[in-house]
Amino acid sequence: MRITLSMRERKNPYIPVEAEKIVPSILMKGTDVTVYEGNKERRLADLFEITVEGEAASVDEVEVVLRGDTSRVKRVGEYMDGGRITVEGDIGMHCGNFMAAGTIEVRGNAAGWFARELRGGTVICRGNAGHYCASGYRGEKKGMRGGKVEVFGDAGDFAAEHLSGGEVVIHGDCGDMAGVEMRGGTLTIHGDCARPCGNMTAGTCTVLGTVLGMIPTFERTGEIVGPDGGTLTAFVGDIANRGKGKLFIRNFQYLE
């Protein structure tokens, strides 16, 4: 079953749409659901032109396709438990919140809190992701617990904050404080970042670019051969928190 949602022209396209019901398990039962445009409850068909092709015996046979200007559509894929969502353009905040299974692919850019507190499944962003990608929400002590997040562009600040399990791969650069408060899982940054992994206690972070403002409370333990055959400097820490996390870096500069 393929369910295509094409965004209609809106009078004010900057008003956010709260669309947590855009998940395969809900839409396979029918598309007569409601979402919120700002503080107004709307039928899904008021905002999207909807086409349904085929049938599905299970959620894993369902694909939801979003077209048009969906950059202000929030919470798509929240608590998703199977199937596939394909976003042909950009997507708004909180895409993939608490997702447990299935696949989300965003072919444009993703706003903040992308794949927040992921439990399982695969979430892909072909463009750039905003701040707090694959992180925990404010006040939470556990962030992403499982699954995989892959960003082919850059990510903002606090990527993989409170990472506790699963795998996060950023092919571009990250902003400040990637992997801060890491408790498990694997974070790989192919580009540059600043001050990664502060207060880390466990898990593995690999930076194949340059770390700016290297945190001094990591203990250098030697060198290893990286996945691309180059040399990486190995650290353990954050020793200020009695941490035993592993941090591997291609190049680094300490704060002056």
pLDDT digits (tens, 9 = 90+) for 89-115: 999 999 999 999 999 999 999 999 999
10 Å Cβ neighbour count for 89? 17
Report residue 41's pLDDT band, with 50, 70 and 90 as the boundaries.
Answer: very high
In the structure encoding, which two tokens stand for residue 108, read together? 């444009």
pLDDT of residue 229: 87
Q: How many domains does the chain have?
A: 1
Burial of 54 (0-12, 13-18, 19+ CB in 10 A): exposed
Distance between CA atoms of residues 22 and 5, nearest Å: 9
Q: What is the pTM of this model?
A: 0.94
Residue 17 has pLDDT above 90, yes or no: yes
Share of the chain above pLDDT 90, in %: 92
- Domain region containing 225: 2-254
| pLDDT tens digits along 143-173 | 899 999 999 999 999 999 999 999 999 999 9
Report residue 203's pLDDT band, with 50, 70 and 90 as the boundaries.
Answer: very high
Report residue 256's pLDDT band, with 50, 70 and 90 as the boundaries.
Answer: low
Distances (CA, A) of 10 to 15, 25, 34, 37: 9, 27, 16, 10
Q: Which residue has the tokens 């945190």?
A: 215
Distance between CA atoms of residues 111 and 127, nearest Å: 10
